[in-house]
Amino acid sequence: MRKATILLYGLLSYAFFFATFVYAVGFVGALFVPKGIDDGPATPIVQAVVINLALLSLFAIQHSVMARPWFKRRWGGWIDPALERPTYVLLATAALALLMWQWRPLPQLVWSVTDTRLSAALTALSLFGWLLVLLSTFMISHFELFGLKQVFMRFSGRGMPAAEFRTPGLYKLVRHPIYLGFIIAFWATPVMSQGHLLFAAVTTAYILIGIMLEERDLIALFGDDYRRYRERVSMLLPFSRRGAVRRSSVPSAPAHDAGQEWPR
């Protein structure tokens, strides 16, 4: 019964994540959801900025603190190991859902593209960014990254394998394709409001900080292997470093915080 409960918990956590992820695509792009990034009650500018920064900070703190090895060690003593990742995903998704629900619009325009073809191209580029995020998660074990593999392994009575050091697809070109996808998705828009700009700027800054924290953990885990990988492969821009990558360090999901991805 306990195994079945853990499995159900993981499935519900994943379903909540995936539904929220799909909604986030529409929220950022103002495409097909009832409340986009520029929708909501009118709020004084200072108040809106304070609320939005608080929401972004809550998401960032939850995402980063729970991803740190020291936190995992501490709470790993009282939570079933199979529930650690699904719980992280559940809480991160809840923080994102709260952000989208309580986000205050700042509708003043920074830019607005009137050319139909250019507007469509920017929208397509943003959607490509989201697709890049999703595809990149599958390259590092999507179902492990979001907690499903852990609960299924527990249900079947098997243990989780140790984190691997491997070279999946896009990770030969950039060290953080998931983060690159988010940056593209957030900035490629035909209509950039002040609220959207605030969201894109703060999340991009958070991504850069997250990369620094994540790579520190990866160096601690993989040592010189990751250092050599970092020397060969660019952080976010493809083909910006010379040299073929014969062996790169992309650990399996438990050690790869990126992606917890939602900006971590």
Q: What one-character-per-residue DSSP string does 157-208 give?
A: T-PPPPPP-B--GGGGTBS-HHHHHHHHHHH--SEEEHHHHHHHHHHHHHHH
- Residue 241: pLDDT band (50, 70, 90) is low
Residue type for position 100 = M
**pLDDT exceeds 90 at position 129:** yes
**pLDDT exceeds 60 at position 58:** yes
**pLDDT exceeds 60 at position 243:** no
Torsion sign over Cα 52, 55, 57, 60? negative
Instruction: Tell me whether residue 263 is exposed, middle or buried, using C-beta atoms within 10 angstroms of its C-beta: 0 to 12, 13 to 18, 19 or more.
Output: buried
Strand, coil or helix: 61 = helix
Side-chain half-sphere of 191: how many Cα atoms within 13 Å? 14
**pLDDT exceeds 60 at position 252:** no
| Token output for 219 | 């160096």
pLDDT in tens, 8-56: 999 999 999 999 999 999 999 999 999 999 999 889 999 999 999 999 9
Torsion sign over Cα 46, 48, 50, 56? negative
Spatial separation of the C-alpha atoms in residues 48 and 104, rounded to whole Å: 5
**pLDDT exceeds 50 at position 254:** no
**pLDDT exceeds 90 at position 74:** no
Q: DSSP H helical segments within the chain, as ranges?
A: 2-29, 45-65, 69-75, 81-102, 116-139, 142-145, 148-155, 177-187, 194-222, 224-232
Residue type for position 193 = S
pLDDT in tens, 159-216: 777 777 776 789 999 999 999 999 999 999 999 999 999 999 999 999 999 999 889 9
Strand, coil or helix: 111 = strand
What's the pLDDT at 90? 96
Distances in Å between the alpha carbon of 147 and those of 12, 20, 51, 195, 203?
A: 11, 16, 31, 32, 24
pTM: 0.87
Spatial separation of the C-alpha atoms in residues 224 and 206, rounded to whole Å: 26
**pLDDT exceeds 80 at position 231:** yes
